[in-house]
Amino acid sequence: MFIENILTNTVMMSTPLMIGALAEVLVERTGVMNIAIEGTFLMGAWAGFVGAYITGSLTVGLLSAVLAGVLTGALYGYITVYLKQHQIVTGTAINILAPGLALYLYRVFFGIPLLPLQVELLPTIPIPFLSDLPVVGRAFFNQNILTYAAFALIAAGFWVLFKTRTGLVIRSAGANPEAVDAAGINVERVRFGTVIFACAMDGLAGAFYSIGFLGLFTENIIGGRGWIAFAICFLGNWNPIGVLVGSLVFGLADALSVVIRTSGVTMVPNEFVIAIPYILTIVATIARRRFNVPAYLGIPYVKEGR
């Protein structure tokens, strides 16, 4: 029972990390670091909640989260890819803007409610027969739609990235943009398109927290989870399989911290249990020596002679 609970929570908590980190892998493979990931998560959480609350439809919530991601991505992509401004600086600006904007617009829509507004959670969808399996059944086959989507996206991401021409173009845009250009493909368009797609995924990942997990929206609903996804992309070596493993490890850390906090074990202070994922990231970043960094990561592509 205990193991089953932990496993179920692990898979649940790793869902948004999988989606977000995979998005980061795709976009970083083209040579753009999406520093705005934390802000995009938050906009997705906000839009998912607002869409679902106003229309009463979770589908609309998910679609609004994607839309919010696309808009944030368009802003970030336009400034970094086309105007070639610094990615860390632009991303930080968006990350400062996002919480202000989300809270402000929440106020515009709902005023100051006495109690936090709530929506129903995305329902869990049990897969017939498989969900009855012992131990793993509930964890892997009785989750909400985003969890299934996350696993599907990981598989699709791996396939697209390494087995298709699109994937080749994406990888080359970050490894050798001149070659992509010479082949007659517009590097900026590849990068911009991938930023938008990745941010749409980030929006979904953010919506997981508001309409898939808590059922409400608060200012610190993301609380650095976007950064964890960002880190998983690094630690997973820019590979969807690495993302899968990394997300499950961090999901486990998240699940354990919930268990430890609620179990009344006072050996380790709560504060440090909450900090486990962040400490884990630091240790992993230091321990991991060989990275497969995309060669042009963070460097805007400027055509010669412009």
278 binds another protein (CB under 8 A): yes
Closer to another protein at the Cβ: 141 or 234? 234
252 binds another protein (CB under 8 A): no
272 binds another protein (CB under 8 A): yes
Judge residue 153's burial from the number of C-beta atoms within 10 Å of its C-beta, 0-12 exposed, 13-18 middle, 19 or more buried. buried
**Dihedral (Cα; 248, 253, 256, 260), 10-degree rounding:** -170
Q: Concatenated DSSP letters for 77-144?
A: HIIIIIS---HHHHHHHHHHHHHHHHHHHHHHHH---SS----PPPPPEEPTTGGGSTTHHHHHHEE-
85 binds another protein (CB under 8 A): yes
Separation of first and last alpha carbons in the chain = 64
Closer to another protein at the Cβ: 271 or 304? 271
CB of 175 to another protein, least distance (A): 19
Judge residue 113's burial from the number of C-beta atoms within 10 Å of its C-beta, 0-12 exposed, 13-18 middle, 19 or more buried. exposed
CB of 104 to another protein, least distance (A): 4
Largest CA distance in the chain: 65
Size of interface with another protein, in residues (CB under 8 A) = 42
100 binds another protein (CB under 8 A): yes
96 binds another protein (CB under 8 A): yes
117 binds another protein (CB under 8 A): no
Non-local CB neighbours of 89 within 8 Å, separated by 6+ positions: none
CB of 178 to another protein, least distance (A): 20
Q: Which of 3, 89, 130, 183 binds another protein (CB under 8 A)?
A: 89
CB of 92 to another protein, least distance (A): 5
State the residues that interact with another protein by CB under 8 A. 75, 79, 83-86, 88-90, 92-101, 103-105, 107-108, 224, 227, 230-231, 234, 269, 271-272, 274-275, 278-279, 281-282, 285-287, 289
